Every structure is written in structure tokens, then in C-alpha cells.
Amino acid sequence: MSSASSEVDKVRKQSFESDSDVKPKPEKERNGDADVIYVGTLARHVRIVKVFSMSTSVAGICLQPFLYTKLSALPVILAVAVGGFASFFIYLTPVLLHLVSKRYVTQMTLDPVSRQYTAITYTFFLRKHVHRFTVDDVTVPNVPGLFTSIRVRGVPLFIDRDLFTDRRHFVELFKYTDPLEWEILSEGLTADNDRDLDKPTKKL
């Protein structure tokens, strides 16, 4: 009799453990993973160009002693021209490429719980720079600048609006859900001009 009761208790214990295993997870744990909403198609090309530029710059720096010995045998004007041209590609090209590529967003994710965006860009040495922000931190310039789609706390970022996985994320991020604010230019308008604007136009 005791063995039968122990078997019943064992079965009840197993059923309780199985029920606890299938217990639904909390909402935050189930939706904790961020969703990828944007992938930049030029990320691989940007990385290749920057690696090539930095490699040529390092090679040029290593060859500078050899170049200086060769330039010393040339006329002064020609040596200055050749040295300036070489220095431009050695030093300035990586800097110019970084000024452009540092704004390019390679990937963007969205946390469905906190509604926090995470945008990834490249640093000068091709390390990932993470920008975390919300919609309230985003400002859309009236006139987009060079390689600037939005600004996150004043930092310009370039985003291709056609690469979003869902159009709704683009609409929300670029503030198309906000009401339009019309700016009326009143500079140079006098009272007579205001009355003229109220008059109907004559048909020819």
C-alpha cells in the first residue's frame, strides 16, 4: 500500500514539474531581443574602401624614408609637388573617407519593449560605434545636409529610407506621424500687402 502511494506522489511530482516547464515567460523576457529593422547595403563596401585606404597609408608611411632620399635628388619645386601629392594620399585620404563614412548607419535595431533604437556606425579604425536613442532624440533637418538624413542628439546620421524592413519604422523615425507645422514668412509684408493678399485674383 505504501509503495502504491509513493508511486502516486511520484507521478504528481512529475506532472507538476512538467507544468512548470511550460509556464509562459514574462513579457519582457519574451520580447527582450531587439528586432533588426534596417541593414545598410553599403556597409561591406565602406569597410573594404577604408581597409584599402588605411593599408596604403601605412605602406606610404613605411616608405617615407625611401621617398625622401629620392626626392632630395629632384629640383625643389618638383620635390615639393611630388611630396605634397604623396602626403595627400597618405594622410588626408583616410581622414576624408572617415568624415563621410562615420555617418553611414550599417545596422539598426529596435527593442519592442523599451522602444529604443540602436544604430551602428564605424569608427576611424573600423570599430563599431553604437548609438542608442529614442524617437524623441531624433530631429529631422528641414534641408538635409551632405550625407545627413537625421540628427540624433546633434550627431548627423545617414540612412537610406528604402532599406527599412518595415515602412512603419521609417515613418515613425522620420516624424511623418507628427502634425505638419506651417511656417508663414512675414518679413517684408506691410499692412497694404496683407490687404492685397486677401483680395481675389482676377481672371484674364
Closest CA to 123 of 105, 98, 149: 98
Residue type, 92: L
Question: In the prediction, which pLDDT does 90 show?
Answer: 80
pLDDT in tens, 101-160: 899 999 999 998 888 999 999 998 889 999 999 998 998 888 777 788 899 998 999 998
- With respect to residue 194, please indicate whether it lies within any of the assigned structural domains: no
Whether residue 68 is found in the same domain as residue 50: yes
Residue 189 within any structural domain of the chain: no
Percentage of the chain beyond pLDDT 90 is 20
Helices 43-62, 64-71: axis angle to 10 degrees equals 60
Is the domain of 97 the same as that of 113? no
DSSP 33: S
Are 59 and 89 contained in the same domain?
A: yes
Examine the domain organization and report whether 139 and 84 are in the same domain: no
The reply to whether 31 falls in a domain is no
Provide the H-helix boundaries in the chain. 2-21, 27-30, 43-62, 64-71, 76-87, 93-101, 167-173, 191-198
Q: Does residue 47 sit in the same domain as residue 83? A: yes
**85 in a structural domain:** yes
For 3, what's the count of Cα atoms within 13 Å in the CB-facing half-sphere?
0
Specify the long-range contacts of residues 3-7, CB closer than 8 Å, at least 24 apart: none
Residues 130 and 78 in one domain: no
Least confident of 9-13, 42-46, 90-94: 9-13
Q: Are 123 and 151 contained in the same domain?
A: yes
Residue 192 lies in a domain: no
Task: Give the number of domains in the chain.
Answer: 2
Question: Has residue 57 been placed in a domain?
Answer: yes
Query: What pLDDT band is residue 37 in, cutting at 50, 70 and 90?
Result: very high
pTM of the complete model: 0.63
Q: Does residue 116 share a domain with residue 67?
A: no
Q: Domain containing 135: what range?
A: 107-173
pLDDT, greater one: 27 or 166: 166
Task: Clarify whether residues 168 and 128 are in a common domain.
Answer: yes
DSSP string, 81-111: HHHHHHHIIIIIHHHHHHHHHTTB--EEEEE
Count CA atoms closer than 13 A to 199's CA, side-chain side: 9
The answer to whether residue 190 sits within a structural domain is: no
Residues 115 and 169 in one domain: yes
**N residues, the chain:** 204
Question: Is 28 among the domain residues?
Answer: no
